[in-house]
Amino acid sequence: MAIRQVAADRPRSVSAEAIAPSVSIVMPCLNEEATVGICVVKGMGWLERTGTPGEVIVIDNGSTDASVEVATAAGARVVHERRRGYGQAYLRGFAEARGDYVIMGDSDDTYDFSDLDTLIEPLRRGADMVLGNRFAGGIAAGAMPWAHRYVGSPIINFVIRLFFGTRIRDSQSGLRAFRRGVTEQLRLRSSGMELASEMIVSATRAGLTIAEVPAPYALRRGESKLNTLRDGWRHLRFLLLAAPDFLFTLPGAAMVLLGLLATGASLAGPAGLQLGPIAWRPVFAGTILLSVGANAVLLGVIAKLYGVRYGLLREDRWARLYRRWFRLEAVLGLAGLLFGTGLLMELFLFGAWTTSAVALHGLQLAALAQTLMIVGGELALAGFLLVTVEQP
């Protein structure tokens, strides 16, 4: 570890391949010829100044300008990744990194690679991952669009805190450091900008220690590759799919509760609820809410157990509870009870109507009977699907 990887034209006494640098600085690059050289020089300068064995890796993601030549001249090891995408470039860079610590950051000169001591220090004290907090470090005027600073980032931060319980203040920071091997442990897959969120979610589920340190954020040169709507949706989409409890189960349970209340109200007042000059009959709302809500809960259970079964989600008390109670025989028994009750109600109402007898609350009871049959059928099908998901 006494030899540092420096500029490509500097003579070495041993092969660079035989050296395991203690720090790898990884930068993705797509047409950043104006700044990539500056970032590489800053990173190399920090390694030199601190006496840290290390390397700077630039992952070229299909640049059509002189980015590759500039990065190489500055002393970086350039790796070409043909598969396009911010996340794809970083995944290749993480695989190429040979350092004990890995630092990641954009090559647009928004992050200061000349001073990485603060970012590295928490790793030396035992942290597994460190984020550079731009809000604490200071954001230069015009460096972050208003919508990103006051809408997009706060919303994503809130969703991550709500869904996964981690207290991260700047979840979208692109300046990060982590221990070698962390990315293999996290099994990262995202090919786009949502990789930033996936790293935090996976690290939280794995029980890793995440620290934050202030990191200044400067005005970038050149055109940003970030698309506000597209990349914002990709982040939100990933977070929703990673949290089936919040995507399916909780909304479904809320709909079931509202459906029961609406159904109860329709049975209690067949004439409807008087809302000013309008009489609202909640019977149909109750039917829809109960059916959709029950389906959402079942999807949530299946998605949860599927994710746990194949290592996409972490085992928790809800997964254990689902596995304990959602057994095929019990599920089929409940499904048969619901479907049979609904069918008997339908036959009773049919008989009453064909004999011209007056069925009390006929419309409300018919809607309830059909709902019970729908939910019963869904439950039976979900039971068999659940067995398929749980099988090795």
Q: Residue 300's closest CA among 240, 374, 215, 384?
A: 240
- What is the rounded average pLDDT of the residues 101-109? 96
Instruction: Give the pLDDT score at 10.
Output: 39
Q: Any idea where the domains of the chain sit in the sequence?
A: 16-241, 244-390
Instruction: Give the pLDDT score at 317.
Output: 84
Q: Which residue has the higher pLDDT, 275 or 324?
A: 324
pLDDT-based confidence at 387, cuts 50/70/90?
Answer: confident
Q: Which of 65-74, 160-169, 260-269 has the highest mean pLDDT?
A: 65-74
Question: Tell me, which fold does domain 16-241 have in CATH?
Answer: Spore Coat Polysaccharide Biosynthesis Protein SpsA; Chain A (3.90.550)
Separation between Cα atoms, residue 172 and residue 205, nearest integer Å = 18
- What is the rounded average pLDDT of the residues 123-139? 95
Instruction: Give the pLDDT score at 20.
Output: 40
Q: Reply yes or no on whether the pLDDT at 337 is more than 90.
A: yes
Over the chain, what is the mean pLDDT?
A: 87
Beta strand extents in 263-389 (DSSP E only): 273-275, 278-280
Q: Residue 167's closest CA among 219, 211, 217?
A: 211
Cα dihedral across residues 104, 110, 113, 117: positive or negative: negative
Instruction: Give the pLDDT score at 67.
Output: 95
Q: Reply yes or no on whether the pLDDT at 349 is more than 60.
A: yes
What percent of the chain has pLDDT above 70?
Answer: 89
Neighbours of 42 (CB within 10 A): 21
Instruction: Give the pLDDT score at 357.
Output: 57
- What is the rounded average pLDDT of the residues 152-170? 91
Q: Which of 117-131, 308-322, 360-374 has the highest mean pLDDT?
A: 117-131
pLDDT tens track for 296-322: 999 999 999 988 887 778 788 888 888
Tokens found for residue 17:
């391949």
Separation between Cα atoms, residue 152 and residue 172, nearest integer Å = 10
Q: Residue 4's closest CA among 60, 54, 74, 72?
A: 54
pLDDT-based confidence at 356, cuts 50/70/90?
Answer: low
Task: Provide long-range contacts, Cβ within 8 A and 24+ apart, for 240-245.
Answer: 242/163, 242/198, 242/201, 242/312, 242/313, 243/163, 243/164, 244/299, 244/300, 244/303, 244/304, 244/307, 244/313, 245/300, 245/304, 245/318
| β-sheet bridge partners, residue 236 | none
pLDDT tens track for 74-85: 999 999 999 999
pLDDT tens track for 29-67: 999 999 999 999 999 999 999 999 999 999 999 999 999
H/E segment holding residue 122: helix 117-124
Instruction: Give the pLDDT score at 12.
Output: 40
- What is the rounded average pLDDT of the residues 177-204? 92
Instruction: Give the pLDDT score at 347.
Output: 87
| pTM greater than 0.85 | no
Instruction: Give the pLDDT score at 21.
Output: 54
Instruction: Give the pLDDT score at 212.
Output: 97
| DSSP reduced 3-state for 61 | coil
Strand 210-214 with 129-133, pairing:
parallel
Q: Reply yes or no on whether the pLDDT at 6 is more than 50.
A: no
Q: Which residues contact 246 (CB under 8 A, 6 or more apart)?
A: 162, 163, 240
Q: Could you tell me how many helices (H) and strands (E) the chain has, helices first?
A: 16, 9
pLDDT tens track for 249-279: 999 999 999 999 988 888 877 666 666 666 6
pLDDT-based confidence at 139, cuts 50/70/90?
Answer: very high
- Put the strands of the sheet holding 54-60 in their side by side order: 77-80, 54-60, 23-29, 101-104, 176-179, 129-133, 210-214
Burial classification of residue 354, based on how many CB atoms lie within 10 Å of its CB (0-12 exposed, 13-18 middle, 19 or more buried): exposed
pLDDT-based confidence at 352, cuts 50/70/90?
Answer: confident
